[in-house]
Amino acid sequence: GQQVMQIPQYQHVQEGEDFTTYCNSSTTLSNIQWYKQRPGGHPVFLIQLVKSGEVKKQKRLTFQFGEAKKNSSLHITATQTTDVGTYFCAGPKGYSTLTFGKGTMLLVSP
């Protein structure tokens, strides 16, 4: 079945350093979504990428969708303590369900 893998599982950075998480799917995706879950919170939708090679930015966050639509990345420039949380990618599976990656937990030290 479809699998979505994320790496790294965990990353600890100093405030101001950059951070990247990678997402790889075993199948071609029609779109990919990214969610963020703050500690003690619930996943919150960040963005959806649809087109091959698409790049979208949200302030310091840059999202990319691979040319083959099987991989994606989220890059955070100059991390801040407010970026702490777990970042999940998710791809469509079947009728309106999503397959989530296991997430990358980001810790930022001041």
Partner 1 sequence: DVKVTQSSRYLVKRTGEKVFLECVQDMDHENMFWYRQDPGLGLRLIYFSYDVKMKEKGDIPEGYSVSREKKERFSLILESASTNQTSMYLCASSLGHSQGVGDTQYFGPGTRLTVL
> Counting contacts by CB under 8 A, is residue 11 touching partner 1?
no
43: left (phi over 0), alpha (psi -120 to 50) or beta: beta
88: burial class by Cβ within 10 Å (0-12, 13-18, 19+)?
buried
Q: How far is the CB of 78 from partner 1 (least distance, A)?
A: 27
> Counting contacts by CB under 8 A, is residue 65 touching partner 1?
no
Stretch 12-51 residues interacting with partner 1 (CB under 8 A): 30-31, 33, 41-45, 48
- Quick one: which segment of 11-19, 59-67, 76-84, 85-93 binds partner 1 (CB under 8 A)? 85-93
Compute the distance between CA of residue 60 and CA of residue 89 in angstroms, rounded to an integer: 18
Question: Given the complex with partner 1, which of 41 and 53 has the nearer CB atom?
Answer: 41
